[in-house]
Chain A
Amino acid sequence: MIKVQGGIGVKSYIGKRIATGILTIIFSFCITFFLIRYAPGNPMKVLAGTDNPNLELIEHLTIKYGLDKPIPVQFVNYVKNILKGDLGHSYMSNEPVTKLIKEKVFPTILLTLTSSILAVVVGTFLGVYAARKVGTIFDRVMCGISYFIDATPGFWLGLIFILIFASTFKILPTSGMYDLRIEKQGFAHVLDVIKHMILPVSTLTIIQIPLYFRISRSSVLQTMSEDFIMTLRATGMKESQIFNKYVLRNAIIPTITMFSLSLAFTISGVALIEIVFAWPGMGRLIMDAIMKRDYPLLTGIYLTISISICIVMIITDIVYAIVDPRIRLE
């Protein structure tokens, strides 16, 4: 009746998740590639300029970027290049896609990581506290607030924040990642960036908090009604010990799952916020690429985002398997 050892179970679980991840990347990549290629409109025309595009110029560009070849051939070429680490060149700026992405990746990661971590910590803390004080005014007010925030579009909240804090009270900058007028070095630069980060990070964090609040609250409530809590109480264990050692450890599990599930959603939120705050990250890059039909850039960015999401999801799944021994069985 004794089942699998811990080690073997975890490895196969992770293995499966990685396999799913790879499949997803391949799948999403194929979708985007073919969607984009079969789209109406010729990027070359857009690139060559709208008035009286020189036919020869168009032809030249088409051949240069290999768009005259049949699409399956294009696909194979592209895949070959990716495996070499070459994501092609952007139509708009003629720079390598990898270089463009590298430049913009850090600001986006900065926003995403900071806000996600803050949201998880604050949201979970509030949710646990609300669960302990269930039914009180605090609990009910917090639940109500979480509804409102959930119903609020992130980009709108960002605008309202700019309105209040940047325009009316003028205590925080309206946009950008750092002061473009004065060039700061070292620590002053870091401070400047932080100052610029406050509003976008706040917006992103607040938008995500209701999710973690609700999950942790309902999870704690659920756990407290489980049978083993009754057993522990019957043994004379103090409530505080029961809560801190046993309830929390059990209740934290859904939060981890939620973090993993909400990633894809968070990324889209970040992109919109970047636009609102003119934050020089991937969000803006993708918007430009879409407008200008910059296929290589577009595909490259989508690939990068997919891979990043996959990696983070897999890491989260590993954490989940460590925390919850039951999962290792499957």
Chain B
Amino acid sequence: MSLLEINNLNVEYRVEGKNIKAVKDVSLDIGVQDSIGIVGESGSGKSTLAMAILKLLPANITEITGEIIFDGVDLLKISEDELRKIRWKDIAVVFQKSMNSLSPVHKIGFQMSDIYKVHKPKASDREVKERILELFDLVNLSERVFDLYPHELSGGMMQRVSIALSLIYFPRLLILDEATTALDVVTQGQILDEIMKLEEKLHLTRIMITHDVSVVSSTCKKVAVMYAGCLLESGYVSDVLTKPKHPYTEGLLNSYPSLKGERKNLRGIPGTLPDLSISHRGCIFADRCKKATEICFNEEPKMMEFDNNWNVACHLVGGADCD
């Protein structure tokens, strides 16, 4: 049974008279205790997708259609009050810019206690502090952090605070939005290790949003590749990232040097992201695709399913029988 089922999700921003389609018809299934990485360039819509799950996008300029079914409940159809009950208790987020993720003029312990009391208002101070210190321990933070201000910590420590904060109710689903991007490689490695240990311990389901494919390949079971708001390929990491079916995924992987094997020239993907405010004909990646054929420019490829939950949207794979 899937914990999170995203069906035909569309997110549009209305800004300065333009309609920007940030997420186009994305469908994903995430099972219990899955760990899935959503990869893509900046502007691919991956963060928007994550923010949409908890309806954290500015309501007055965003239009969302489709379904986001969490544990049987469509999050897009419930009231704000009901959604608030789910926020953080069942689904939590770790944001990217952790340095500013907490109020700079309040102590960390104070804020975390406050947040704890959002869903457990009757909890005693002792109970709250106990839980917070327990979380600090989980993420290897010293108890002293409780009485400190955010600016007194380093980037890595603040990131750990953010993770501890996200786990405060031991949620079922954890979304990490570029959570380690701002850190140096060593710290990133440490934190990723800690996250994976926690996942096992707390039976977490994890969605990792990142542009760094190597992070996904080393820490996630499944992967979904997004480009310009469209989902291009998804499946198990062992499949997709070793023998990618979609040209874009292939191009992404080629942009990363490998430690082993013969030395190759690094190849990026030439070109830039398309304008998301105008309708596009055909495959969204066609302009930058080396293998594009005529049909690619004329018809949008449908998502085809292969063995092992492997989904690809490309004319070159799974035949040209699109309607």
Binding site for B on A (CB under 8 A): 1-3, 226-228, 230-238, 245-246, 249-250, 253, 323-326, 329
When the two chains form their complex, are residues A246 and B152 in contact, meaning their CB atoms are under 8 A apart? Answer: no
Cβ contact within 8 Å between A236 and B87: yes
Q: Nearest Cβ distance between residue B101 and chain A, in whole angstroms?
A: 5
Known: A238-B118, A323-B105, A326-B151. 8 other contacts (CB 8 A): A2-B152, A230-B101, A234-B54, A234-B92, A236-B89, A237-B118, A250-B103, A329-B151
Choose from B54, B93, B103 the contact partner of A249 (Cβ within 8 Å): B103
Q: Give CA–CA (A237, B97) in the complex, Å.
A: 20
CB pair B95 A235 closer than 8 Å: no
B162 cross-chain contacts in A, Cβ below 8 A = 231
In-complex Cβ contact of A228 among B84, B100, B118, B152 (8 A): B100
A3, B87: Cβ atoms closer than 8 Å: no
Q: Are B102 and A237 in contact (CB under 8 A)?
A: no
In the complex, how many angstroms separate the beta carbon of B233 from the nearest chain A beta carbon? 29
* A325-B149 in contact (CB<8A): yes
Q: How many A-B Cβ pairs are below 8 Å?
A: 77
- Whether the Cβ atoms of B84 and A236 lie closer than 8 Å is yes
Interface string of B81-111 (1 = CB under 8 A from A): 0011111110011010100111111100000
* CB–CB A230/B105 < 8 A: no
Distance in Å: Cβ of A14 to nearest Cβ of chain B? 18
**Residues of chain B whose beta carbon lies under 8 Å from any beta carbon of chain A:** 54, 56, 83-89, 92-93, 95, 97, 100-106, 114-115, 118-119, 144, 148-149, 151-154, 157, 162, 165
Residues of A within 8 A of B102 (CB): 228, 231
Contact of B118 among A236, A249, A325, A329 (CB under 8 A): A236
22 contacts between A and B (CB under 8 A): A1-B157, A2-B148, A2-B153, A3-B151, A226-B100, A227-B97, A228-B101, A228-B102, A234-B88, A234-B93, A235-B87, A235-B118, A236-B84, A236-B85, A236-B87, A237-B114, A237-B115, A249-B103, A249-B105, A253-B105, A325-B105, A326-B151
Tell whether, in the assembled complex, residue A228 and residue B103 are in contact, meaning their CB atoms are under 8 Å apart.
yes
Pairwise interchain contact A246-B106, C-beta atoms closer than 8 A: yes
Whether B153 lies near A1 (C-beta < 8 A) is yes
- Beta-carbon nearest neighbor of B83 in chain A: A236
Q: Is the CB of B56 within 8 A of A234?
A: yes
State A226–B89 Cα separation when bound (angstroms). Answer: 23
Residue of A nearest to B97 (CB): A227
Bound complex: CA of A238 vs CA of B114, how far in Å?
12
- Chain B residue numbers with a CB within 8 Å of A237 are 114-115, 118
When A and B form their complex, which 9 residue pairs have the shortest distance between CB atoms, in order from nearest?
A236-B87, A236-B84, A227-B100, A1-B154, A235-B88, A325-B149, A231-B101, A235-B115, A246-B103
Residues on B with C-beta less than 8 A from A324 are 105
A323 to B105, CA, bound (A): 7
The minimal Cβ–Cβ distance linking B207 to chain A, given in whole angstroms, is 14
Distance (whole angstroms) from the CB of A330 to the closest CB of chain B: 11
Q: Name the one of A1, A231, A253, A326 contacting B149, with C-beta atoms under 8 angstroms.
A: A326
Contact residues in B for A245 (Cβ distance below 8 Å): 114
Contacts of A1 in B (CB 8 A): 153-154, 157
Residues of A within 8 A of B114 (CB): 237, 245
Pick from B56, B148, B153: contact of A233, CB below 8 A: B56
CA distance A232 to B92 in the complex (A): 11
Q: Name the A residues within 8 Å of B97 (CB-CB).
A: 227
Chain B residues whose C-beta falls within 8 Å of the C-beta of A233 in the assembled complex: 56
Q: How far is the CB of B274 from chain A (nearest CB, A)?
A: 28
Query: Most chain-B CB neighbours within 10 Å: which of A2, A250, A324?
Result: A2
* A97, chain B: closest CB distance, angstroms: 45
Tell me, rounded to whole Å, the shortest Cβ–Cβ distance linking B155 to chain A: 9
Q: In the complex, how many angstroms separate the beta carbon of A322 from the nearest chain B beta carbon?
A: 10
Give every chain A residue within 8 A of B100 (Cβ-Cβ).
226-228
Residues of A within 8 A of B119 (CB): 236
Chain B: CB-nearest residue to A329: B151
User: Smallest CB–CB gap between A171 and chain B, Å?
Assistant: 45
Give the residues in chain B near A238, CB-CB below 8 Å. Answer: 84, 118
Q: Chain B residues with Cβ under 8 A from A234's Cβ?
A: 54, 56, 87-88, 92-93
Which residues of the other chain, B, contact A3 by a CB distance below 8 angstroms? 151-152
CA distance A246 to B165 in the complex (A): 17
Nearest residue (CB) in A for B157 is A1
**A133 CB to closest chain B CB, in angstroms?**
14
* Contact indicator B144/A249 (Cβ below 8 Å): no
Q: Give the residues in chain A near B95, CB-CB below 8 Å.
A: 227, 230-231
**Distance from A243 Cβ to chain B, minimum over Cβ atoms (Å):** 12
